[in-house]
């Protein structure tokens, strides 16, 4: 292997990420809290989010100290719509003050905030009115975005409007695993994605009206869909179909303003064009796609990781780090905008795969940066273990650089946190780091002969 050090630009953002419902705790006024309370297997072992990581009760500040200990300079967090607007048109200024406090503490620690406005949860009043299937959901969200920006713009200038619109719609309206629990509603999936994109555009306008120099984008989850048998035309067709429905539909609409779902009403939405100052990439896995009679409700497409390849639990998919480069290339080619890796990580309770994932994904990120693609930062998911939606507190779904004992709220740094701190502090990855933290990857990441 070759001995080498790969350097990142001095203005590169080294970050971590969290979301409100997953870390705050006692978040009783949104649709997820209601969903958890129904039991019946909706969440792993019928668990409740409960206290989560205790951020709302005061532990956010100590976790900001952990961000600083990691030598990071950025963090992506979300604010909770149901706290800020518990009833239509009624604003809770105590909640906004709490977010102001958290943002101030972050800035004092040298941590640049990126604020996400919607990360999978809705106020109960929104859900009761039909949620994101209601056409007025766009204006509801715009009013909320305007209020948040007005109150927090002195502390934040980088905004993420919507997190993973396709994941939210797929889990709530096709897989039925998240609220409102609808299964196999293809038209509902497309309708919800369409309204979320329009809400993004409306929020973009509202924020820029108040803060002209703001940087506003959204976080797009992208899956690397791959035909299980590339020579099989049916597998290729299915992989292309899934890529179009999950990846391209959203991106094309944002680029062109043309809404072209596979089913349902097509539309011209020119308001969507030019509503990105940057684009966010959430990347976790590759899925190999093949035809199966058992999956006829999903167009006959069955997917998972390749046999013998590293993968996450259940249907998580293949841990294929090179996919982050493939997705960065697609985004750069299509948009020519700054790109933030707004999430990447691995479910890994014993921290055996996480160090390698960090090193491999950053190696591919470095390659993109050296190709002059405008990758502005890397936000690792997640700072701490948290409530992982339908997976609850299932120990197989621990993402944190810091482990959390959810009974005592004690945080324990994992070895990967030491690695990430060294990378962020030096703004480099090196063969020495790989040799220490993931020696099996040495020849792969730094091939060739040394000096």
pLDDT in tens, 27-50: 999 999 999 999 999 999 999 999
Planar angle of CA 375, 65, 384, nearest 5 degrees: 70
Q: What is the DSSP letter of 111?
A: P
CATH number at residue 389: 3.20.20.80
* Containing structural domain, residue 19: 10-416
In this model, does residue 451 exceed pLDDT 70? no
| Structure confidence at residue 298 as a pLDDT band (50, 70, 90) | low
Catalogue the E-assigned strands of 94-228.
Answer: 112-118, 158-163, 215-227
- In the chain, the number of structural domains is 1
Closest CA to 433 of 423, 444, 447: 423
> In sequence order, what DSSP letters do the residues of 265-292 get, joined into one string?
--EE-GGGTT--SSEEEEEEEEEEEEE-
| Structure confidence at residue 296 as a pLDDT band (50, 70, 90) | very low
Look at residue 448 in the predicted model and tell me its pLDDT.
78
Distances (CA, A) of 265 to 167, 252, 310: 21, 16, 40
Per the domain annotation, does 167 fall within a domain?
yes
Q: What percent of the chain is modeled with pLDDT above 90?
A: 93
> Which residues lie below 8 Å from residue 219, measured CB to CB, with a gap of 6+?
116, 160, 162, 163, 164, 280, 281, 282, 342, 343
Per the domain annotation, does 5 fall within a domain?
no
In this model, does residue 241 exceed pLDDT 70? yes
User: Which sign does the torsion angle of CA 226, 228, 229, 232 carry?
Assistant: negative
> Which residues lie below 8 Å from residue 368, measured CB to CB, with a gap of 6+?
325, 328, 329, 332, 375
Distances (CA, A) of 57 to 62, 87, 102, 136, 158: 11, 22, 12, 33, 25
Query: pLDDT per residue over 380-407, tens digit each?
Result: 999 999 999 999 999 999 999 999 999 9
Query: pLDDT per residue over 172-204, tens digit each?
Result: 999 999 999 999 899 999 999 999 999 999 999
Closest CA to 323 of 367, 266, 279: 367
Q: Each residue of 401-428: b (16+ CB within 10 Å) or e?
A: bbbbebeeeebeebebbebbbbbbeebb
Q: What percent of the chain is modeled with pLDDT above 70?
A: 97
Specify the 3-state DSSP secondary structure of 335.
helix
Tokens of 180: 């409102």
Per the domain annotation, does 432 fall within a domain?
no
Give the pLDDT mean for 204-226. 98
Tokens of 350: 């014993």
Look at residue 306 in the predicted model and tell me its pLDDT.
85
Look at residue 315 in the predicted model and tell me its pLDDT.
85
Choice between 296 and 134, residue whose per-residue pLDDT is larger: 134
Per the domain annotation, does 406 fall within a domain?
yes
CB–CB of 303/289 below 8 Å?
A: yes
- Which helix (H) or strand (E) covers residue 96, if one does? helix 93-108
CA dihedral 338, 103, 14, 82 (to 10 degrees): -70
Look at residue 302 in the predicted model and tell me its pLDDT.
77
Give the pLDDT mean for 338-347. 98
Helix count and strand count (H, E) for the chain:
16, 15
Per the domain annotation, does 247 fall within a domain?
yes
Look at residue 5 in the predicted model and tell me its pLDDT.
98
Look at residue 295 in the predicted model and tell me its pLDDT.
52
Secondary-structure breakdown of the chain: helix, strand, coil percentages, each rounded to the nearest 5:
45, 20, 35
- Residue 114, beta-bridge partner list: 76
CB–CB of 424/71 below 8 Å?
A: yes
| Residue in this structure with the two tokens 């020119």, named with its chain if needed | 270
Per the domain annotation, does 1 fall within a domain?
no
Per the domain annotation, does 433 fall within a domain?
no
In this model, does residue 434 exceed pLDDT 50? yes
């Amino acid at each position: 292997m070759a001995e080498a050090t790969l350097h990142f630009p001095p203005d590169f953002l080294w970050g971590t990420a969290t979301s409100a419902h997953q870390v705050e705790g006692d978040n009783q006024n949104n649709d997820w809290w209601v969903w958890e309370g129904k039991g019946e297997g909706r969440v792993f072992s019928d668990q409740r989010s409960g206290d989560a990581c205790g951020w709302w009760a005061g532990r956010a500040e100590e976790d900001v100290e952990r961000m600083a200990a990691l030598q990071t300079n950025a963090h992506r967090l979300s604010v909770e719509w149901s706290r800020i607007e518990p009833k239509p048109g009624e604003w809770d200024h105590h909640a906004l003050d709490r977010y102001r406090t958290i943002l101030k503490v972050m800035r004092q620690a040298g941590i640049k905030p990126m604020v996400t406005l919607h990360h999978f949860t809705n106020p109960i009043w929104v859900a009761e009115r039909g949620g994101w299937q209601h056409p007025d959901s766009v204006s509801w969200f715009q009013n909320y975005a305007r209020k948040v920006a007005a109150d927090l713009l002195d502390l934040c200038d980088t905004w993420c409007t919507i997190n993973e619109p396709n994941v939210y719609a797929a889990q709530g309206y096709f897989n039925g695993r998240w609220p409102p629990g609808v299964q196999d509603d293809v038209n509902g999936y497309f309708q919800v994605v369409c309204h979320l994109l329009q809400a993004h555009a409306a929020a973009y306008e509202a924020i820029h009206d108040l803060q002209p120099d703001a940087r506003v984008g959204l976080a797009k989850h992208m899956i690397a869909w791959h035909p299980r048998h590339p020579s099989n035309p049916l597998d290729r067709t299915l992989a292309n179909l899934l890529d179009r429905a999950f990846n391209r539909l959203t991106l094309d609409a944002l680029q062109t303003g043309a809404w072209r779902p596979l089913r349902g009403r097509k539309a011209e939405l020119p308001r969507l064009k030019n509503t990105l100052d940057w684009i966010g990439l959430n990347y976790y896995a590759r899925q190999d796609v093949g035809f199966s009679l058992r999956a006829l409700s999903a167009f006959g497409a069955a997917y998972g990781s390749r046999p013998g390849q590293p993968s996450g639990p259940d249907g998580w998919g293949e841990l294929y780090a090179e996919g982050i480069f493939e997705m960065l290339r697609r985004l750069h080619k299509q948009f020519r905008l700054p790109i933030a890796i707004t999430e990447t990580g691995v479910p890994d309770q014993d921290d055996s795969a996480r160090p390698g994932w960090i090193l491999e994904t950053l190696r591919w990120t470095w390659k993109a940066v050296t190709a002059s693609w405008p990758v502005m930062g890397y936000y690792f998911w997640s700072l701490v273990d948290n409530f992982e939606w339908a997976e609850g507190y299932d120990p197989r779904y621990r993402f944190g650089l810091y482990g959390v004992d959810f009974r005592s709220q004690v945080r324990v740094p994992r070895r990967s946190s030491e690695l990430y701190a060294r990378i962020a502090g030096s703004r480099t990855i090196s063969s020495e780091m790989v040799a220490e933290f993931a020696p099996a990857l040495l020849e792969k990441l730094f091939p060739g002969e040394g000096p």
